[in-house]
Structure 1
Amino acid sequence: MIYARKGDTWELYSRWFSVPIALLQDANPHLSHELHDGEVVRIPGFDVVTYHSQTTDTLEQMAQSLSLSVEALERMNEDRLLLRLPRRLETSIVNGKQPYDFSTMKQDMDDLCTYYPFIRQRTIGTSVLGQPLIELSIGRGRKKIHVNASFHANEWITTAVVMAFVNEYVLRLTNDASMLDYYQKVTLSIVPMVNPDGVNLVLNGPPEIEPYRSNVLQINDGSSDFSQWKANICGVDLNNQFPAKWEIEQMRKIPKAPAPRDFPGVAPLTEPETKAMARLTEESDFAIVVAFHTQGKEIYWGYEGCEPKEAERIVDELAKVSGYQAVRYIDSHAGYRDWFIQKWQRPGYTIELGEGVNPLPLAQFDAIYEASRNMLFALLAVC
């Protein structure tokens, strides 16, 4: 951060720190176009290292080594007893190659929003156990693209992939001026973990709180191995909860009661997680939605002939950059993507990342991430 002086401008700070004006302004929504003396201005994409000065280097020498302007360092170091050196972030904060539960995700979110305060974070609802369902938003564009992950509990690697992409995107925005076009044209909405209770159950075991602890153990036939659990904490499959021929799924699904997977509930949109996702979607006017799942290396893109013509052009590009197979129709209903396509007749995609048996091993992370990032950047480009 830096303290503004009378006469300072966004253009000045952009020149000093080589950060686009749009990112500076969006990182400081509390400030007006005209800066005033003493206001605190946050500089996205930078950390600040503070230590007692014992160096004989001049500010000019330090500025050169940091690839920053001398003026910026002078402003930040009027008292040379303490040196405040801005350090441009050039590496990722997010480590996706680990068991990625809710607390890990939340810490990464908070860190990213601290260093890249143009990211907007808000709670769109809460899970059964009261965990916040969080949406991150990036960009100024009129076209809104939505991405979500971990509808299914044992597909938690999708959250790690999405969070790693968020980190790469904001890192590139603050270090590569050519990326700003995406930021200006598209607003990217991300809900990285739709099913936090389920993810925590798979990774950390049953919750302490009753009756949920006893219930999940009973549903799981007394087993403490929850690795195959897909549902939310109540045993409802969240991706069988949407009002797109839900009745067909209710009729033909084998579990007629709460289960580790596939139980669609007693009616559409009974669960707080699906209610929150439906409300977000209805309020947001998304142009495109993408739901990340595992596994199969496939991209599902049609539903009952409701998909628009442009959906095929987009999926062809996604398949090209990922090597995944585009599949127009599958015998499935009541999914989030199904409902979106049916209700709005806009492009919607379910992307089945990786291949093998769920939960996919972290050894696949690099390959999965490479395909995912290529598809997400392709989506930004087609807009």
Structure 2
Amino acid sequence: MRVRVRHGDSFWLYSRLFHIPIQLIEDSNRHIASNFLDVGMEVEIPGFMEETYIIQPGDTFFQLAKMSKMPVEALLLLNPGVYPDHLALGQSVKLPKRVTEPVINDIQTYDFTHLQRDIETLLCLYPFLKVNTIGESVLGNPIYELEIGRGKRNIHVNASFHANEWITTPVLMKLVNTFFLALTNENMLNGIHALPLYHKNTLSIVPMVNPDGVNLVLQGPPAEKKEEILALNSGSPDFSGWKANIRGVDLNNQFPANWEIEKERKEPKSPAPRDYPGEIPLSEPEAVAMARLVEKKQFSRVLAFHTQGREFYWGYEGVEPVESERLAREYEKVSGYKSVRYIDSHAGFRDWFVHAYQKPGFTFELGLGVNPLPVSQFPQIYEEMLNVFLVTLNS
């Protein structure tokens, strides 16, 4: 929601009127120096939206303020030029409406277009969110990073490395939405205050590493590549088993952590729906984008959301730090997932991060069953990962 600056206005005043932490208002208006608000300038107020109201007989600004649960001054700010003592029947006015419910709800077929729409909605309602494009997929779809917070500690979480594990994306997006609601409504999350987490951490979210693959699973192949992709899928139009990117390379077998071992032992020796590690490490633009992001941001810890198995992996060849074991114990306790230190696997994103940086890295296998998991598991998975999300930010 936008308001126009009046003489004497300040971010502090807006914070008091709308009961929004001033830090969120400052971060929603990064282009404006807080000491230089010019009359007529537009300022973003996060966590609110405008709704139009038509004046009824007997209406007053006092009654409208009471109805909106807002101070009269907030209504005056939103309606410059409206004379509160001369409201006309049928006149339209703007009322501020606090956002108290999540906007990430429809998760039945969460493809790339759905993700884009939800990112745009979140950015409109919560402009303290920063959205970065860190690269492009094979088909030219942008790979988005959501950046949240002002803390010194950089933490990264990603989802949908694998195409048929797309349910991880709405899980992660709803976690972000829940965090935003807690910040702007000054609510607690499972007994934890949200604003200190915003100050403690800068959170990097890549909600869909493999947009082409997700679209393939949910929509089928694009017309221009239909025959080529059908051939990789043994002629079958059923892509529910597809994990790779659109070129048939498994993005989570693309990283330079003993990649040669995986290359040698993986059964597919050419592009396939799953497990083919490519001809060289980091051959695929999606994997390159993720590697460059890590190299640029130097994260303190990373989490990768996959499915399924209700377990998580955190060790790699004995180079994982002591902190990883402490976090693993906490994650196991709050999620009910099984903690697995070592598995016989290489060349994954987490493997590479732990190997290259010797910092905590975790791969979570969400839910149980056969991929793609049924949407009916979403509520339970979300609740389990909310606990993991809070431990990650609070520990």
- Please state which band the TM-score falls in when normalised by the shorter chain: over 0.9
What secondary structure sits across from 2:144 in the alignment?
strand
Q: Which amino acid is 2:30 matched to?
A: P
Matches within 5 A, 1:332-343: 332-343=345-356
Assess if the C-alpha contact under 8 Å between 1:125 and 1:272 holds in 2: yes
SS in 1 for 2:223: coil
- 2:139: which partner in 1? 129
* Deviation per residue, 1:224-267 (Å, 9 max, x gap): 00000000000000000000000000000000000000000000
Q: Which runs of 5+ in 1 are unaligned?
A: none
Residues 69-148 of structure 1 mapped to structure 2, 5 A cutoff: 69-77=71-79, 78-79=81-82, 80=87, 81-148=91-158
Distance, in Å, in 2 between the alignment partners of 1:270 and 1:133 is 16
Q: Indicate the residue corresponding to 1:305 in structure 2.
A: 318
Where in structure 1 do 4 or more consecutive aligned residues deviate above 6 Å?
Answer: none
Deviation for aligned residue 1:306: 1.1
Q: Is the 8 A contact 1:301 1:349 kept in 2?
A: yes
In structure 1, what is the Cα distance between the partners aligned to 2:66 and 2:195? 26
1:305-339 per-position Cα deviation (integer Å, ceiling 9, x unaligned): 11100111111111111100111000000000000
| Aligned counterpart for 1:191 among listed residues 203, 206, 210 | 206
Superposed displacement of residue 47, structure 1:
0.8
Q: Is the 8 A contact 1:353 1:368 kept in 2?
A: yes
Residue 328 of structure 1 corresponds to which residue in structure 2? 341
Note the C-alpha offset of 1:277. 0.4
| CA distance in 2: counterparts of 1:55 and 1:296, whole angstroms | 61
TM-score after normalising by structure 1:
0.97
Aligned-pair CA distance for 1:52: 3.5
What is the DSSP-based 3-state SS (H/G/I as helix, E as strand, rest coil) of the residue aligned with 1:216?
helix
2:74 is aligned with what amino acid? A
Aligned pair partner of 1:258 in 259, 266, 271: 271
Shift of residue 51, structure 1, vs aligned partner: 3.7
CA gap of 1:13–1:245, structure 2 versus 1, over 3 A, is same
- Provide the residue aligned with 2:287 in structure 1: 274
Q: Note closer, same or farther for the CA distance 1:94–1:55 as it changes in structure 2 (3 Å cut).
A: farther
Q: Compared with structure 1, are the counterparts of its residues 176 and 279 closer, same or farther at alpha carbon in structure 2 (3 Å cutoff)?
A: same
Equivalent residue runs for 1:1-383 within 5 Å: 1-34=2-35, 35-77=37-79, 78-79=81-82, 80=87, 81-176=91-186, 178-209=193-224, 212-382=225-395
Question: Shift in Å at residue 360 of structure 1?
Answer: 0.4
Tell me the C-alpha RMSD between the 2 structures: 1.1
Aligned equivalents of 1:106 and 1:41: distance in 2?
Answer: 24
Q: C-alpha distance in 1, partners of 2:59/2:200? A: 43
Alignment check: 8 A CA contact 1:96 1:163 kept: no
What CA distance in whole angstroms lies between the structure 2 residues aligned with 1:179 and 1:151? Answer: 28
- 8 A Cα contact 1:292 1:352, kept in partner: yes
Aligned-partner SS, 1:230: coil
Identity across matched positions, percent: 56
Shift of 1:66: 1.9
Deviations 1:288-316 (A, max 9, x none): 10000000001101101111001111111
Aligned-pair CA distance for 1:57: 2.4
Count of matched residue pairs: 380
CA contact (8 A) 1:138 1:188 kept: yes
Shift of 1:53: 2.5
Report the AA paired with residue 122 of structure 2: L
Amino acid at match of 1:8: D
Aligned partners of 2:56, 2:77: CA distance in 1, in Å?
19
Instruction: Give the Cα separation in 2 of the matches to 1:361 and 1:56.
Output: 52
Within 2, Cα distance between the matches of 1:82 and 1:369?
A: 41
Which region of structure 1 is more displaced relative to structure 2, 80-89 or 348-357? 80-89
- Displacement of 1:64 in angstroms is 2.0
In structure 2, distance between residues paired with 1:89 and 1:144:
28
The DSSP-based 3-state class of the residue aligned with 1:74 is helix
Q: How many angstroms does 1:96 deviate by? A: 4.7
Q: Distance in 2 between matches of 1:47 and 1:148?
A: 29
Once residues 272 and 363 of structure 1 are traced to their aligned partners in structure 2, the CA distance between those partners, rounded to angstroms, is: 33
**Aligned partners of 1:56 and 1:338: how far apart in 2?**
67
Cα distance in 1, alignment partners of residues 367 and 293 from structure 2: 28
Q: Is the 8 A contact 1:243 1:269 kept in 2?
A: yes
